[in-house]
A and B are shown apart, each in its own frame.
Chain A
Amino acid sequence: MNTTSDNPQASTTKPVRILVVEDSPLNQQVALKQLEKLGYTADAVADGELALEAHARTPYDIILMDCQMPGISGYEATWQIRIREQEKTGAAEAVKRVYIIAMTANTQADNREKCSSAGMDGFINKPVQLPELEAALMHALADQMVAKKMDEVIDPVVIAGLRQLRTPGKPDPLAELIDLFVREAPTQLDIMSDAVAKNDMTSLTRTISAASALKGSAGNLGARNLAALCDEIEQTAKNWILADTQPLIERAREEFSRVQATLERIKKS
């Protein structure tokens, strides 16, 4: 395996793990030098089989993948990496989703379609030029930051589990569940606010009931912070401290806005 890590600038490089998969030694060396110039260290391998081995060993953040290589092609290697990631979803040692950028000498639309179908996230044309490479890496890192922020709001393992319930030709159960949740959650929050304002025994029961229902539906979609807030509302109401629940309900409303925005993004992806 070739690497840029033995270069003298290694101590100042960015903490992003990159793998270059490219069978042409010339293109491979140019890509490594370009990455070094941009401040990244990277490993490099020459075919899809070695890429799969490297991916199993190292949790790379980004893979720059040549599409056509002898043996296992870039398309097939990507496909196998995505299967590996899916299989390990929810496992004790879950594999994080690596951002894969196709390096393609074929710019036709159908080729890009093939890259997307295989599970690649971005594309750059070969021969790779420094500004295009920099832009693709920035895009990959921004995408991963958004993903990280989304993970803080919605548990990705829960979403991955719901995605597996999809059946070809039938409505997407994840989308249906999201729609139902987004429709019903504001009503539950309103019930809690109204009940707390009335401050009587019936209201107390209604608050507990609404908080419990929202906790359940939020938990089903992996909205763990919202579920935790609803649990807190439920416990506070059960202890007859209705006055303390109002600020919690406001926090739950704010969290719901984040959850709603994240779920809409998930639905589109």
Chain B
Amino acid sequence: MPRNDVVNRLTSALSSLKLTIVCLALLMVLVVACTLAQVDLGTHLAVERYIRAFIVWWTPEGSSVRFPVFPGGGLLGGLLLLNLIFAQFRRLELSWRKGGLWIMHIGLALLFVGEFATALLQVESNMAIEEGRTKSYSEDYRRMELAVIDETDKEFDDERGIPSALLKSRAEITDASLPFKLRVRAYHDNAALSMRPASAPPSVITAGNGTGMAFRPMPPVTGDEEQNTAVAIVEPVLADGSSMGVYLLSNALGAPQGFMHEGRSWRLALRLRHYQHPFSLTLKDFKHDLYPGTTIPKNFSSLVRLKDPVAGDDRDVLIFMNSPLRHGGLTFYQASFGKNDTLSVLQVVRNPSWTLPYLSCILVSIGLLWHFGVMLRKALIARPA
């Protein structure tokens, strides 16, 4: 039957060793290309474009059309994973002799699944705490949010974060809990801010600290150490259609901006996205040790107080190099420091699939040892005495 024939041909193509070899070779080329691209693009963007993509695109200089030039990491990884699964069941018999190959390939499949899961699920943020301060949120490295904060209560800020993706895609943002809607006049991932010359035509910005400022959109920067200056032009509009003024918001502007409405005090800010955690960390002490007589760092460590009313935790934890804190599905690593060693920066990672590589490493090691052991035994027996 023709239908069966197609299925047969597809499964045999998917399980063929040729596909394995072609994919491995293409993957090698891709990895080399990604490594070289990191020199110009920075690690993050190079990985996004080459590895965490199904197709690598090429846009000629000054053109808006893009061409697919190479299979991306997602496509090659997926093909290899399918290939592995099909080959396993079609070609390999389940026997003691092939046991090593089975275990090894299962381990390998777990590694692929783990990398896919990481690409989809991992969220990285960082928490900068000064000595003596307490924090219960961490900040994203790149993504911005528009924070709308009700500060009426002196003790407690009622915060809402609107992701930058929404600011880009929608012209108006409404929220049932807000007595006004937000009209987004413009949003730029990166811009250069400057003082507005007195001779310039009247600005669209009518309220807040941005009235005296001008901005010029810039291409976003991608380097590992670079930070974008995002700009949002936002106008809060009441239910009756009256405007509260047009605000210029930017993560580069530190001073608070806001307005009063019906006795409530509202603050608007564009900032790195916050992630709230149901527990808090207090930095008690940060230590930065050097080798005697040098500036070579010997150790960094943060002594923190972990308070989690839900889990019933209230204890001291020492976070240092190669010894992170794992709590509530998050992992806190010593990442950086500042302000004359009184500020500690912890990297916060949520990665539900973090255990997969550990398991995979064990399985593949056992599998390889098993298989090569069998092969070596065969070779030694076959050797003429």
A binds B: no
* A-binding residues in B (CB < 8 A): none
* B-binding residues in A (CB < 8 A): none
